[in-house]
Amino acid sequence: MGAVLISPVELREALADKRVRLLDVRWALGDPDGPQHYLDGHIPGAVFVDLETELAAPASPARGRHPLPELTQLEKCARSWGIRNGDAVVVYDATGGMAAARAWWLLRWAGIADVRILDGGLPGWEQSGGELATGTEPDPEPGDVGLSPGHMSVVDADTIANWDGLLLDARAGERYRGEVEPVDPRAGHVPGAVSAPTAENLDGEGRFRTTDQLLERFTSLGTGPVAVYCGSGVTAAHQIAALAAAGIDAALYPGSWSQWSNDPKRPVAVGAE
């Protein structure tokens, strides 16, 4: 796997030297205003990507709140963003990569080798002196990228139920423990999962922690093959990006808690494990 992150300084250098397709993936649970945030200010040349409609299939209790999109639909979207075969892609948001990592994971899964997350996101870009553009951008020339599935590991609920390794729950600790559950039908976690809140991948400035810090974090949680879930398969991708930055491969459970908690046959654990 290639590099996971790119700094604002490295991005400016890359934009000067070669074709880079920039994707603005601003989304947060409970915040439907990503398109307006983009219009208010974005990195020049970036294309806005709608997580709900372009990086996910329609929600359902059986599949979860953000199922993986069909490959043909993802390829259609990627071409509409102007991605061509061989392009480098950089994704960003304004929340430490929590949403942008979904695009990173999907495009890696679909076979695009050079996809990186802008470390620090839009705030880091601005703090480093990067300029912003407002309003709309010209529609990009349609791309010709060809996608193929399976370049990142995926596991389903049955596999997770019998996981022989380290299963990480990337949600906030209070959701893992079952103290609160703002969106899904049951509170708690998959039995045997270890709490590993995604927010702890970041430092106080919204940047990923160092490789050594991430490696220490994850190796302290357990051993064996690693799988990750969250609420709906979005922030779990951030966890997988952090693991990849530390040199650890991990599988994504896309349905995550939103799928698991909707199936009454699936057991639920509460409290700390």
Residue 10, both tokens: 């490295």
* Distance in angstroms (rounded) separating the CA atoms of residues 163 and 195: 15
> Choosing from 230, 241, 251, 252, which is the catalytic residue?
230
In this predicted structure, what is the pLDDT of residue 1?
40
* Distance in angstroms (rounded) separating the CA atoms of residues 102 and 107: 9
Residue 12, both tokens: 């400016």
Using CA of residue 129, residue 198, residue 202, residue 116, what is the dihedral sign? Answer: negative
In this predicted structure, what is the pLDDT of residue 32?
74
Question: Is-catalytic flag, 230?
Answer: yes
Query: Is the CB of residue 253 less than 8 Å from the CB of residue 160?
Result: yes
Residue 189, both tokens: 């976690």
Helix (H, G, I), strand (E, B) or coil at 30: coil
Helix (H, G, I), strand (E, B) or coil at 107: helix
Predicted TM-score of the model (pTM):
0.96
Query: Is the CB of residue 210 less than 8 Å from the CB of residue 220?
Result: no
- Residue with token string 């491969």: 249
Identify the helix (H) or strand (E) that includes residue 35.
helix 34-40
Q: What is the DSSP string of 125-193?
A: HHHTT---B-S--PPPPP------S-SS-B--HHHHHT--SEEEE-S-HHHHTTS--SSSSS-SB-TT-
Q: From the CB of residue 153, how many other CB atoms can be counted at a distance below 10 Å?
A: 14
Select from 19, 46, 20, 45 the least CA-distant residue to 34.
Answer: 46
Q: Considering the chain, tell me which residue range(s) the CATH 3.40.250.10 domain(s) occupy.
A: 5-127, 157-260
Question: Is 157-260 CATH 1.10.286.10?
Answer: no
- Residue with token string 């974090």: 217
Chain-centroid distance, C-alpha 238: 4
User: Class assignment of domain 5-127?
Assistant: alpha beta
φ and ψ at 196, to 5 degrees? -150, 75
* pLDDT tens, N- to C-terminus, the chain (273 residues): 459 999 999 999 998 877 899 999 998 777 777 889 999 999 999 999 999 999 999 999 999 999 999 999 999 999 999 999 999 999 999 999 999 999 999 999 999 999 999 999 999 999 999 999 999 999 999 999 999 999 999 999 999 999 999 999 999 999 999 999 999 999 999 999 999 999 999 999 999 999 999 999 999 999 999 999 999 999 999 999 999 999 999 999 999 999 999 999 999 999 997
* Distance in angstroms (rounded) separating the CA atoms of residues 226 and 47: 33
Residue 32, both tokens: 């439907």
69-78 per-residue burial string, b: 16 or more CB within 10 A, e: under 16: bebeebbebb
3-52 pLDDT per residue, tens: 999 999 999 999 887 789 999 999 877 777 788 999 999 999 999 999 99
